[in-house]
Amino acid sequence: MRTDLFDFDLPNERIALRPASPRDTARMLVVEADGVLRDHDVADLPQWLRPGDQLVVNDTKVISAQLSGRRIGRATEPKIEATLIKRIDGSRWQALVRPAKKLVEGDRIRFGNEGRVCLLGHLDAEVAHKGGEGEVTLSFSFHGPALNQAIADLGATPLPPYIASKRAPDARDMDDYQTMFAQNEGAVAAPTAGLHFTPALEGALRARGIGFNRVTLHVGAGTFLPVKAEDIEGHRMHAEWGGLSAETAAALNAARAAGGRIVAVGTTSLRLLESAAREDATIAPFEGDTAIFITPGYRFRAVDILMTNFHLPRSTLFMLVSAFSGLDVMQRAYAHAIAGGYRFYSYGDACLLFRKH
């Protein structure tokens, strides 16, 4: 399919720079299976679900993945910005760096941040490998928990580029850009549908007999990349690590066998569930990388309902929701949202999509 089929015009003022407060007061556009659109709020979610339905939330925790430093050991010391995108092992990370042209393999980068102290005052890394499109492998001088602490001390919240280009990260973002389910460190972007949840909303859902299930998918920076290929078949997805336990798989299979529906909170939960789904639509335990790319024509096996935010034009996530509900329906839904003043992207409002069968 042509990538331009997934393009649309979004006015700048529709991009949310802060989340709703309280979080469950965000608006929620309900898109029913027959394409009917209904305007609601996130707090209305319980009335759209049935007892026995199972929510699946992503419990990944965003790390302070944005690091600032300079190249050292050569005649000049240019500034280097790095965004960690995937842990390789105890001391190595894949990262996106700017300006990549200033670096070659073997270069040393010293990361630091005035006013914030990290163990010895800075964090050094060697460029162990340099790939294309600004991607490098950084081998850090610290290992394991010491490295985790150094990154936490020196790094900043990696706000999406469409927010970071309009304002700098601040202390509020450390809380705002983390879901209430965040537990397992490793994401460099938030699973943003989970940002809408509050303890009050969780209580209302549980009181209605709706279950909560946790999975982990460490969201990478590739989630923000637009598709540049003219045809979607030419796009390469970045792999992300995920895990779904045997206990969670068994609970979801049992609930579905009893008539309950699987409700993915966010495209990250959906991508992991679909990666773990067998041909017979049961869910298997899963641990490892997934680079699943869901586009129109995909046959969904695990997920019946999707709660998600409003996504970028030409993005893999807009392609995913178009596969779930139909491209024509999602084009109409997004036009309705733009005209109706809905707020877009990570800090924006929500959609509740019922799968087109």
Say which residue the tokens 């949840």 belong to: 197
Q: What is the pLDDT of residue 246?
A: 98
**Residue that wins the pLDDT comparison between 277 and 154:** 277
Whether the predicted pLDDT of 156 surpasses 90:
no
Mean pLDDT computed over 40-64: 97
Q: What is the pLDDT of residue 227?
A: 82
Domains of the chain listed by start with CATH number: 3-62+174-354 (3.40.1780.10), 66-156 (2.40.10.240)
What DSSP line would sit under 261-303, residue for residue? -EEEESHHHHHHHHHHB-TTS-B--EEEEE-----TT----S-
Q: How far apart are CA 177 and CA 351, in angstroms?
A: 19
pLDDT-wise least confident of 112-121, 125-134, 268-277, 342-351: 112-121
Q: How far apart are CA 15 and CA 171, in angstroms?
A: 20
Please choose, from the candidates 55, 40, 44, the residue with its C-alpha nearest in 3D space to the C-alpha of residue 206. Answer: 55
Classify 97 in phi/psi space as left (phi over 0), alpha (psi -120 to 50) or beta: beta
Q: What is the pLDDT of residue 223?
A: 67
Q: What is the pLDDT of residue 113?
A: 58
Q: What is the pLDDT of residues 203-245, one digit of tens each?
A: 999 999 999 999 999 998 776 667 888 888 888 888 899 999 9
Q: What size, in residues, is the chain?
A: 357
Whether the predicted pLDDT of 304 surpasses 60:
yes
Whether the predicted pLDDT of 98 surpasses 60:
yes
Q: Using 50, 70 and 90 to split pLDDT, how confident is the model at 120?
A: low
CB atoms within 10 A of CB 231: 11
